[in-house]
Amino acid sequence: MSTLRVSVWRGTETGRFQSFEVPRLESQTVLDVVTHIQRVLDPTLAYRFACRVGMCGSCAMTVNGRARWTCRTHVDKVAEGGRLEVAPLSNLPVVRDLVTDMTAFFDKWAQARGSFRGARTRHDDFEQVSPDSTARRLADAGVECIGCGVCYSSCDVVAWKPDYLGPAALNRAWTLVNDVRDTGNRARLAAVAGDAGCHACHTHMSCTERCPKQISPTASIAGLKRAAAIAALRGELSDE
Amino acid sequence: MTNNGKLSTRGQVLLWAAQRASAAVLAVCVLVHLVTIIYAVRHGLSATEILGRTRGNAAWAGFYSLFVLAVAVHAPIGLRSFLAETLNWRGTGLDVAMMALALTLTMWGLRAVLAVFV
């Protein structure tokens, strides 16, 4: 049986890569490899996963330099010369080994007003929204995000500007801007505009290239830039 | 534009819009400028011949004044982002420095235009 040489990050912000030899199996995913290390070779290894089928978004790590879902990444696709390097996601504090603290990532969703604000109550009838309308199509294009943090970890602007809201939070805001039922868009546009918001994006498109759900946060951010600029020119954008 | 010493969100967005608009102006200006240079070189125009065309030419002075103003708007806004991202320099000090740069570029540029217009 052939083996795989795997370097795994150990420690917190400071630490080192530790080498392991893992049996190479057919249809083996990177998550299988990490799980083998923790269950067979070193039970002290810390990592995070839940569903194992690409639904929860909790197993994202940096594999050979790129942020990926480890559960949906086959070793065949990424192992270079029988080697793997597995590290925690970039741009987030490391709790231990492969586990990052995602507090800032999710706090920024709240800062970007990423929660729905409707005007109807349970006593009102359902709002009719045509799936073919332009606004709904724009919302649908970004609405499947599961918050895995791959885009955030891949974003150069987040690395340069720690207060930048990041692709996932801005993508979420854009889906709500295009939700005709939502009533919080004036405050939302003010929250996502400016130097720490959508206008800081350099359109490098790493988020779009690496999103495992094939969402384009870059397109969502471009939409927010236009909407916020129009609001600013109309004098409708004010600090809270 | 400022709120507790910090540029307002609307101000930040208007700077972004001004940089995009000035970029569109610069794209045309740079093209015209390059064509002008190539024309002058290929026709072997002397300094005296060039000055003969620029002196008293209001259209020429107007075009290059627009070019100067577009540069004075575009460059400081871009540099502002660059300094914030690379040196983590933010706040009023940065905005004042960039305003000074914009005024300096305007002054130098218009002085150059004036020198070959009058």
The answer to whether the CB of A145 falls within 8 A of the CB of A172 is yes
Which residue ranges of chain A lie beneath pLDDT 50?
none
Q: Which residue in the set A160, A195, A232 is minimally distant from B10, CB to CB?
A: A232
Give pLDDT tens digits for A12-45. 999 999 999 999 999 999 999 999 999 999 999 9
**For residues A125 and A118, what is the distance between their CA atoms, to the nearest angstrom?**
13
- The distance of Cα A63 from the centroid of its chain, to the nearest Å, equals 15
Q: Check residue B1 and give its pLDDT.
A: 53
Q: Which residue in the set A160, A161, A232 is minimally distant from B13, CB to CB?
A: A232
Per-10-residue mean pLDDT of chain B, 118 residues long, equals: 73 96 98 95 93 95 98 98 93 95 98 95
Q: Check residue A238 and give its pLDDT.
A: 82
**For residues A68 and A65, what is the distance between their CA atoms, to the nearest angstrom?**
9
User: What are the b/e assignments for B75-112, b being 16+ CB within 10 Å?
Assistant: bbbeebbeebbeeeebeeebbeebeebbeebbeebbee
Residue identified by tokens 């270079």 is A80
Chain A residue with minimal CA distance to B91?
A195
Beta strand ranges found along B4-112 (DSSP E): 6-7
**For residues B6 and B18, what is the distance between their CA atoms, to the nearest angstrom?**
18
Which of residues 135 through 174 in chain A touch B, CB cutoff 8 A? 157, 160-161
Chain B residue with minimal CA distance to A191?
B9
**For residues A185 and A169, what is the distance between their CA atoms, to the nearest angstrom?**
14
Inter-chain residue contact A239 with B16, CB threshold 8 Å: no
B-chain CB neighbours of A224 within 8 Å are none
Identify which of A218, A166, A216 has the alpha carbon closest to the alpha carbon of residue A192.
A166
The token pair at A234 is 């109309």
Strand order in the sheet with A3-11: A15-23, A3-11, A83-87, A60-63, A66-69
Inter-chain residue contact A199 with B12, CB threshold 8 Å: yes
Interface predicted TM-score (ipTM):
0.85
Q: Check residue A60 and give its pLDDT.
A: 98
pTM check: above 0.90:
yes
**For residues A237 and A229, what is the distance between their CA atoms, to the nearest angstrom?**
9
Domains in chain B and their CATH numbers? 2-117 (1.20.1300)
**For residues A110 and A104, what is the distance between their CA atoms, to the nearest angstrom?**
10
Q: Which residue in the set A160, A161, A194 is minimally distant from B13, CB to CB?
A: A194
Q: Check residue A80 and give its pLDDT.
A: 84
- Is the Cβ of B9 closer than 8 Å to some Cβ of chain A? yes
Q: Check residue B84 and give its pLDDT.
A: 94
Q: Check residue B4 and give its pLDDT.
A: 61
Q: Check residue A114 and give its pLDDT.
A: 96
- Show the CA angle centred on residue A6, arms to residues A5 and A10, nearest 5°: 145
Which of residues 198 through 237 in chain A touch B, CB cutoff 8 A? 199-200, 225, 228-229, 231-233, 235, 237
Which of residues 86 through 105 in chain B touch A, CB cutoff 8 A? 86, 90
**DSSP code, position A127:** P
A-chain CB neighbours of B82 within 8 Å are none
